[in-house]
Copies of this chain bind each other. A is one copy, B any other.
């Protein structure tokens, strides 16, 4: 078969320094695909249950998706995975950019890392060779500094060596430290940066010069050209190109769906100051990921009190809402500065914003005093305080040390009702989408193996009108009729069930969610054709969808093995209380509806509604019967 998924999985033992190469057969790729599928496989096979996520026995996986690095549209994403120090569950975060493709160009389909280096190291992978290198001189550097230093010592010009790395937050094992590549593409969620830190692994630098061979290059080219032509005027693509994710702020606020002041409200009075109109004043350029027709990425340049360099890109929607509206801050310059700090320190901006918003509410309600917080005036809206907290968290200074544990642990520590204010699922802070206005978001947050996760939910607002482009795009899944975003009936559960494998599939393929239907605009019905042109496999959307379901089930088995059950598939209590203000004033979830939907969803998924565990029959259907023995 001409397609080269290059056929090499790198196994690195940091304790011993050993590096080994595994060359799986074609069927391994077909069954587990890549990305999330590989992560689930290796975490289940190589991790013992109950290990300390920040100890040497955790396993850290870097896995581009199957098609990552090919010229197909938006095929650039890779997954980092480990047992999460934030949730104690399956931890995974994906990012686009250039690092994943570079790893493929270097002849490597995934890296599986175990053990702990005796002293700081980084990994250097170049065209099929791998090396563990001393990083003592890099330890403590922020990401910009470290990137420059590594590039210099590897003797390559800028933009040649791609570096995924951690800054001080990862070194300090902040439980929501992220991994960043090219200083601006974040494997954000779940604290995987802390896992790198705990392994004394500062960075993974890669350089590859061999693009993956394609089974049918002419067919790939035809699809790419057809797509570029056919869809250049798709309004969804055009909107995303024109304003990126920051373009979402105004519309969400108008709909009452912009999380504000720790999810107390869905409308923010100063939303205009966070909108794309305001963003444009800071804009210094746009950017893109490998092979992307959308080019949604932005760079900002801010000088003055709140400085931000375009080197670190610019804040995305999640960051704007997390560190802006959700902290009551209507100042995009402050958000941009915080975004850069998160990138320099490697802090997940969603969890960082969630922790600060929680602290602010605790402060306003008297659960944290001025003394507790080092004298800061921690009321909502204090941008200065927010920025100070970002740095304090990264360095675990003062109250930052508590917040670096995440809201679940921090709330448990201070007690007195603070738990009720902690907006998380399985310990992971909520992304900035409001389940009280989108039932599929709530379901997704609850059942996600990683805890609340904006890449594991259904944006059901885009399926609620008959004319919706996303609804039309979803027809090949058997979704033919609009459904209100707040609908919580069995039909919504069906919608969720039919859609949920989508994000998991895009992850496994290394495909960006913004490019692929039903949310994006590369049509679902041509995905098998694209996969076939690249890999030579005769495939179908059904086979691929089942591959994604397999990956989801592997992650779920991991969680069951770690002791997670149905009670963990839940939502914070606030979501069952009425929203304050905005267009959805008074909206709340119903416990009965939510539990009924959950039960039905488990049944549809072939999971036991009592334990939330996959049934042996489901695992057999997915051809991963071996995973049943892990539970």
Q: Measuring CB to CB, which residues of chain A are less than 8 angstroms from any residue of chain B?
A: 27, 30-31, 472-473, 475-478, 480-481, 490-491, 493-494, 497, 523-525, 528-529, 532, 537-543, 545-547, 600, 603-604, 606, 615-618, 620-621, 623, 625
Give the residue among A497, A524, A529, A541 with the most B Cβ atoms within 10 A. Answer: A541
Cβ of B539 and Cβ of A525 under 8 Å apart? yes
Cβ of A494 and Cβ of B620 under 8 Å apart? yes
Output the nearest chain B residue to A617 by Cβ-Cβ distance.
B603
Cβ of B539 and Cβ of A490 under 8 Å apart? no
Output the nearest chain B residue to A524 by Cβ-Cβ distance.
B540
- Select A480's contact among B30, B494, B541, B600, beta carbons within 8 Å: B30
- Select A472's contact among B475, B490, B538, beta carbons within 8 Å: B538
Cβ of A476 and Cβ of B542 under 8 Å apart? yes
Output the nearest chain B residue to A476 by Cβ-Cβ distance.
B540
Cβ of B27 and Cβ of A481 under 8 Å apart? yes
Closest-CB distance, A327 to chain B (whole angstroms): 40
Given contacts A477-B542, A540-B541, 11 further A-B contacts (CB under 8 A): A27-B481, A31-B480, A475-B538, A475-B539, A476-B540, A477-B540, A490-B620, A497-B621, A523-B538, A603-B615, A604-B618
- Supply 11 A–B pairs (Cβ within 8 Å), ascending by A: A27-B480, A472-B538, A476-B538, A476-B543, A478-B547, A493-B620, A494-B621, A525-B538, A541-B541, A542-B542, A604-B617
The residues of B that contact A538 with a CB separation of less than 8 Å are 472-473, 475-476, 523-525
- Select A490's contact among B537, B606, B625, beta carbons within 8 Å: B625
Closest-CB distance, A596 to chain B (whole angstroms): 11
The residues of B that contact A545 with a CB separation of less than 8 Å are 542
Q: How far is the CA of A529 from the CA of B547 in the complex (A)?
A: 22
Give the residue among A616, A623, A625 with the most B Cβ atoms within 10 A. Answer: A623
The residues of B that contact A606 with a CB separation of less than 8 Å are 603-604, 606
The residues of B that contact A604 with a CB separation of less than 8 Å are 606, 617-618, 620-621
The residues of B that contact A529 with a CB separation of less than 8 Å are 525
Q: How far is the CA of A452 from the CA of B556 in the complex (A)?
A: 39
The residues of B that contact A546 with a CB separation of less than 8 Å are 478
Cβ of A475 and Cβ of B543 under 8 Å apart? yes
The residues of B that contact A31 with a CB separation of less than 8 Å are 480
The residues of B that contact A524 with a CB separation of less than 8 Å are 538, 540
The residues of B that contact A540 with a CB separation of less than 8 Å are 476-477, 524-525, 528, 540-542
Closest 5 CB pairs of A and B: A603-B617, A542-B542, A476-B540, A540-B541, A490-B620
Cβ of A532 and Cβ of B543 under 8 Å apart? no
Q: How far is the CA of A472 from the CA of B30 in the complex (A)?
A: 13
- Select A543's contact among B477, B539, B615, B617, beta carbons within 8 Å: B477
Closest-CB distance, A500 to chain B (whole angstroms): 12
Q: How far is the CA of A30 from the CA of B474 in the complex (A)?
A: 13
Cβ of B621 and Cβ of A537 under 8 Å apart? no
- Select A494's contact among B491, B493, B623, beta carbons within 8 Å: B623
Cβ of B541 and Cβ of A542 under 8 Å apart? yes
Q: How far is the CA of A620 from the CA of B491 in the complex (A)?
A: 7
Q: How far is the CA of A505 from the CA of B162 in the complex (A)?
A: 49
Q: How far is the CA of A27 from the CA of B479 in the complex (A)?
A: 11
